[in-house]
Amino acid sequence: MDSSIVLFGPPGAGKGTQAGRIVQATGKPQVSTGDMLRAAVEEGTELGRIAKGYMESGGLVPDEVIIGLIKERIKQPDASGGLLFDGFPRTIPQAEALEEIAPVSMVIAIHVEDESIVERICGRFTCASCGEVYHDVFRPCKIDSICDSCGGIEFKRRADDSEQTVRARLSAYHEQTSPLESWYESKGLLQRIDGNHSIDQVGNSISNLINE
Ligand SMILES: [Zn+2]
């Protein structure tokens, strides 16, 4: 199996977009443990049944279950060229287990200040009629409170975009990710990317790293 890449990035940092570009550039399929868990539960596999119990009781799915899923995934034929891990590993034991089963050549951590993420996420709103997406700072309506595309005057803001929710998600992310970043840094695998730039600029920094 060729070497894999691990991608870290806080919610709202454009990780999904960058993951898509890495998949295109490297041909390494993206592996999201969240998606795999949901699929395993739906398919009713043994791991899925075990995971379901934890998910329904609101608990964290144990490392062994997650690692079991990854072990299965690595056996698929399309994994031979390496994978792009997104949302995994989340704990040091998971990272240690990954080290045993698949070589990782690079860990890319997209860094964005919490303040800019709060600004990015919390300023979003959409037109209630046509769904056009706006932002208080980055993409305001050309004429205040009138939708550019349909002339609508009603707008929606997502409840989970509230500042408090975003800050809670960010602090959970940092709590989980900092030990992993240090762990990978000590192995010389961590590459920090400044995510405070346009999608294209961040994408170019990542491409430069991958092509080095
Ligand atoms: Zn509209």
Q: For residue range 89-140, what is the model confidence (pLDDT) as tens digits?
A: 999 999 999 999 999 999 999 999 999 999 888 888 999 999 999 998 889 9
15 is catalytic: yes
**Mean pLDDT confidence for 6-22:** 91
158 is catalytic: yes
Q: How confident is the model at residue 156 (pLDDT cuts 50, 70, 90)?
A: very high
DSSP state letter for 143 = B
Q: How confident is the model at residue 34 (pLDDT cuts 50, 70, 90)?
A: confident
CA of residue 143 to ligand 1 center, whole Å: 12
Residue 47's CB: how many other CB atoms inside 10 A?
20
User: Which class for 108: exposed (0-12), middle (13-18), buried (19 or more C-beta within 10 A)?
Assistant: buried
124 is catalytic: yes
Averaged pLDDT of the chain: 91
Q: Could you read off the pLDDT of 40-93 as tens digits, one per residue?
A: 899 999 989 998 888 888 778 899 999 999 999 999 999 999 999 998 999 999
Dihedral angle of Cα 184, 190, 65, 32, to the nearest 10 degrees: 180
Closest by CA position to 128, among listed 94, 164, 154, 98: 154
Q: How confident is the model at residue 19 (pLDDT cuts 50, 70, 90)?
A: very high
Strand residue runs (E) in the chain: 4-8, 30-32, 84-86, 104-111, 124-127, 133-135, 155-156, 190-194
Number of structural domains found in the chain: 1
Asked whether the predicted pLDDT for residue 160 surpasses 70, the reply is: no
Closest by CA position to 13, among listed 120, 91, 108: 120
Indicate which CATH number applies to the domain containing 70: 3.40.50.300
CA of residue 164 to ligand 1 center, whole Å: 28
Active-site hit among 21, 38, 52, 169: 169
Backbone dihedral angles phi then psi of residue 154, each to the nearest 5 degrees: -110, 135
Distances (CA, A) of 33 to 39, 67, 127, 130, 205: 10, 9, 33, 33, 25
Quote the pTM value: 0.82
Range of the domain at 89: 4-211
What is the rounded CA–CA span in Å between residue 51 and residue 59?
A: 10
Active-site hit among 52, 71, 124, 167: 124
Greatest distance between any 2 Cα atoms in the chain: 57
CA of residue 124 to ligand 1 center, whole Å: 14
Closest by CA position to 8, among listed 171, 161, 186, 180: 180
